[in-house]
Amino acid sequence: MGKTYIGVNNKARQVKKMYIGVNGIAREVKKAYVGVNGVARLIYSAEPDRHYLYNEGDECTSLTGGWTYYPQNGWVKGSNDLYITGKTGAGYYLATQNNIDYTGFSKIIVEYSAKFTSYNTYLRLERMVDQYTPSSSSFILKQHECDGDFTGEITSSYYLTNGYKLGISAQLGVATDVVRIKKIWLE
């Protein structure tokens, strides 16, 4: 789904939000379709196209093969997130079982929350050779002290290279630091 435009005074204007009147009340449209040769075609979506790799508890196994953890006592599967806490040190990896096909996508986006009280705490996105071995480089999503909800976005072609698993690693400086992964998607 690309951008949607309408003509206004002979000029194309991008549709940012769409509304429809229902019983005299304006309701925001989340998705709009039009019939083309008997087939419904999406012409507007309030959300950009998202190719989820993890979505609030759904490991999207048809694409990822599931998510693995190394060591096994690091990351925890919550009911609607993946999280790590109560640990110190580095080397806690979370990785897809399958290699990811990035064809047609230009971004990896990670939605997460964090409570870091230590300078030595970080969260990294990794290109993984296997479930236990990151490639030679990684991208720091967040480091140092922070508290709240964040969205990390990566557009580097280095990380969007086919033939690798997607991984996340964490280092916790103190055992009270917490990282919670909510969603991971490609756009």
Profile the chain (187 residues) by mean pLDDT over runs of 10 residues.
Answer: 70 77 81 72 67 89 88 80 81 86 84 79 78 69 67 68 82 82 87
Could you tell me how many helices (H) and strands (E) the chain has, helices first?
1, 17
Question: In the block, which residue shows the tokens 């992964």?
Answer: 181
Model confidence over 30-67: pLDDT tens digits? 777 777 777 666 666 666 677 889 989 999 998 899 99
The pLDDT of residue 155 is 62
How far, in Å, CA of 101 to CA of 90, rounded?
Answer: 28
All domains of the chain, ordered by start, with CATH? 5-45 (no CATH), 51-186 (2.60.120.260)
Say what the pLDDT of residue 21 is.
Answer: 83
* pLDDT score recorded for residue 34: 73
Reported in sequence order, the residue ranges of 86-132 that DSSP labels E, i.e. its strands, are: 89-96, 108-116, 122-130
Q: Cα separation of 160 and 104, whole Å?
A: 10
CA distance 15 to 152: 26
What's the pLDDT score for residue 66? 92
Q: Contacts from 29-35 at CB under 8 Å and sequence distance 24+? A: none
pLDDT for 65: 92
